[in-house]
Structure 1
Amino acid sequence: MGASGDVARSAAASVPQPLNDPRNFAPEWAGEPYASVIERLHAVLQPRTYLEIGVLLGGTFRLAQCPRIAIDPGFMLSAEDINTKPVSLLFRLPSDEFFAQYNVRNLFGRELDMAFLDGLHLFEFLLRDFYNTEIHCHSKSVILVHDLLPTDVGMSRRDQRRPKDLPTRNPKRWAGDVWKLLPVLRKYRPDLRIICLDAPPTGLVLITGLDPTNRVLQENYDAILAEAAGLVLEEVGMANFVAHQRVWSTDSFQDPALIKSHLFERPGTAQSG
């Protein structure tokens, strides 16, 4: 009886999950591609300094026209990506090593205006990238984060090599468990302004209201990791997680004046699109 029950459970587990099962799937994002949103933010905000973690081929890094820093242990940039920009500082090393060895303000001679975090897709790495980046920002800086809004539990797996363990539309897509940054920031940093956009494939999150003097995340790092280990997206429910994020349409980020208003006015006064 026990053996047959195990076989039955194994067989049931092998049956593909329905793509409309809200525990495992949410609708795919249908907004403007995230790189297009980032390009518009550069045009509207005109950052004087820019930092990107997780550069790889440079698709979003090349959008920056100002002095910029690239951090990636294995980026592959072309000569054109470098020769057409005024200042490009390239660091082929993990982000933890970069922040341990270098000071962004000293490299630029000023604070950081904009950053894009798209490094290793594991929560603890992104958490460190976030607070290590914020230290070099100012109150009107913007930190952009990729992959915080997965649309199925399979892409949120920690192990990139095991796509068959969880239901997914696309076994090759991997966002990791960086989605955990959203509930963590909302708990530990309610002072931040967090805007989630429906930019495919895994959303784009814009964070303002930054405070380079705040050390709450660093001081509670071990406790945060312990809490995050207990966050399981299959238990939260994919559709339930998305429903609690108040995701904005990228259509609301077209007009330059509205973009600045959404990003920098007091939390709770902006209207979602």
Structure 2
Amino acid sequence: MALPPDNTTPSTVRDAAQRDVFLREVDEAVRQDQLEGFMARYGKLLFAVIVIALLAFAGWIYWDHRQTKEREERAEAYVQALDSLQSENLDAAKAKLAPIAAAGASDATVTSARLTLAGIALRQEKKADALKLYAQVAADAKAPQALRDLATVREIGANFDAMKPQDVVDRLKPLAAPGNAWFGVAGEMVGMAYLKQGKQDQAGPLFAAIAKDETVEDGLRSRARQLAAVLGVDAVDDVVDEKGESLIKPAAKATADATAAGE
């Protein structure tokens, strides 16, 4: 099959190449003009934005370093305050704790300092000051939740006799649940509040649950067991065999219940 004649000549190729070079030069010139126009119009603004961003980043680095240094200094001062407290030098401990507690932060060290000051106030029979500090920590949404819960428990423990039973229940009931770290302590106070309200049917099972919880401190479990027994609630766990049947005979179980009631 015959091919069509090739009309391409060296001059035609040269002209096409020159046109391509010219078009590229025009395109580059247009791009250069656009860039120069953009820089002329927005160059100063762009430079200002870059400078501001760099200054902001440098400021953040400085602020973060400053914050870290302040936290370390507060932690060291808190340890020194605890040393004074251990030596029964309450005034020296207060003097070291006061600047920490007054810091604007709500981290663990600052919050712990406030709680420690509240404890010192109680020891010095300054109940109003202690309650104010406990309430401050309990209401601080930025403080660690574990320390807020501790503040709530201590505040109510220090003011239990002056509080209405229902107020005690309302504030402590979220903590008086199995699995909560404060189940034993908070549960005991909720149970006592129930007794003040004449709600033995709610107090008894709660004391029994505390008595059976192995994570609760032994002394508290013993008190709860006695209270549950007085209220007629069994707080003694059965011993069962592999079939799940009780190994404690009725008479023996009655003896165990009587023993629990007499502890």
State the TM-score, normalizing by the size of structure 2.
0.24
Name the structure with the higher helix share: 2
Structure whose CA Rg is larger: 2
Higher RCO, 1 or 2 (CA under 8 Å, sep at least 6)? 1
Name the structure with the higher strand share: 1
